[in-house]
Amino acid sequence: MQTHMFKRPALAAAITLAIAAGSGYVTARHGITNVHAETAPATSARLAPATAIATPDFSTIVALSGPAVVNISVEGMVKTRNTIVSPFGQIDPNDPFSEFFRRFGPGMQAPGGDQVVRGQGSGFIVSPDGVILTNAHVVADADTVTVKLTDKREFAAKVVGVDKTSDLAVLKIDAKNLPTLPLAAPDSTRVGQWVLAIGSPFGFENSVTAGIVSAKSRSLPDEGYVPFLQTDVAINPGNSGGPLLNLKGEVVGINSQIYSRSGGYQGLSFAIPIEVANQVKDQLLATGKVTRGRIGVGIQEMNQALSESFGLKSARGALISQVEPGSPAEKAGLQPGDVILKLNGETITESNELPPKIAAMAPGSKITLQVWRKGNTRDVAVTLGAVKSEDIASADTPAGNPGRLGVAVRGLNAEEAAQLKTQGGVVVLQVAGAARRAGIQPGDVVLSVNGQPVADPAALQRLIGDADHHVALLIQRQDARLFVPVELG
């Protein structure tokens, strides 16, 4: 499994957003500085004495829910570059001193090659026939995915679909009559409620931690389509993809990220709301991809100064800072400076509430926005477009042959087919496993398998599923065509 690397900020005290990944370590995502606790407003009224509330006993929930939580192990191959080994350790070939050590020593060049990467994470069963939910980053670029149940049974899992935007993935194992977890009703979770997490932090299977919901609808950097649940439940590497449960034993979220200085838990963890996860799951199971609505505007948060400038009595709504040319917003007449106050009659208090609400709607849906423009409100009808994405389900083989070829593909459009002068073919978007080892690259166009033409992704799936252990792919790479032998897993 590949973990995306980001540079840490220079300040040692900066708080970094880290993926609670299953790889045994976490990496920095974004630095957040100047974090201050808010001062509670003074009040002259005395609060009534609090009624003592006993901490709940979670043992029954754990006993009933634990069997449906699984441990996920992944393995993949990554390419490593040639490195220069010196008395000071490895030196990047692009480093100015690498040439010095290569020519004059004391140093030598170590060849690059394939390196095995392993990782672990968590997941939970949502269907008795083996449908499992987890995080996309847990299974990203994995050649093999293994699911282990609490009764010690292990299954090779097929990656049905991956949605990197929401960090969700759907797996399938060949089993029946499995225990499942019920899903909570949408928007049923309240701030202050008790919740608990079950997962495999650092590989310790079925570990349980508990806390409360600290906040809802949190917007995180580069995560605009997910209104995260914030909790103080202890989440660590390996918890990713595991369930967040309420006191009824219902899944309210999927543990995904943490804020941390050290890479370990420090009191702030974030979960994907189960209603978001359920929508993604249904689309991945039905079509292998996720579509999201869009209106094509850039928005920013309102503050007191802006609200006074625009003549609003309160700092609420989403301020449109730009309108994309040719977008649904432009066609509907929206303008920079408009403030979106309501979506289909529902008040928009914070700007970060708008993107996930729009994204949750199907492209082609008709919506009504109430906007504030030049001192007056008006209703604007908009027909939603679709968020452009080429993130496609990565499993290209039938269940039982997970990751056999290891490519994610899409069909050629008319312009591409005309340019290549071909009647069929599929373009490779992502490469892993057998295809990567054979040298297949993103951008290659697969034209045939063992001489049989590939008309579309379904044809490729069928031909690979029927093949023996070796196939010859005819691919087009830029202006050249060549046969590539592939040894299937």
> Which residues are designated catalytic?
137, 167, 240
Q: Give the DSSP letter of residue 270.
A: E
Q: How far apart are CA 473 and CA 483, in angstroms?
A: 5
What whole-number distance in Å separates Cα of residue 139 and Cα of residue 74? 7
| Whole-number Å distance between alpha carbons of 53 and 365 | 46
Residue 16 tokens read as: 């970094």
What single-letter amino acid sits at 358? I
CB atoms inside a 10 Å sphere around CB 416: 13
Distance (Å, whole) CA 478 – CA 282: 37
CB within 8 Å of 199: residues ≥ 6 apart: 69, 122, 206, 207, 235, 238, 239, 240, 241, 242, 243, 255
To 5 degrees, how large is the angle CA 320–CA 340–CA 301? 55
Burial of 333 (0-12, 13-18, 19+ CB in 10 A): middle
Closest residue by Cα to residue 461 from 413, 391, 390, 395? 395
Q: Cβ(216)–Cβ(349) under 8 Å? A: no
- CB-side neighbour CA atoms (13 Å) of 186: 7
Contact yes or no for 402/158 (Cβ under 8 A)? yes
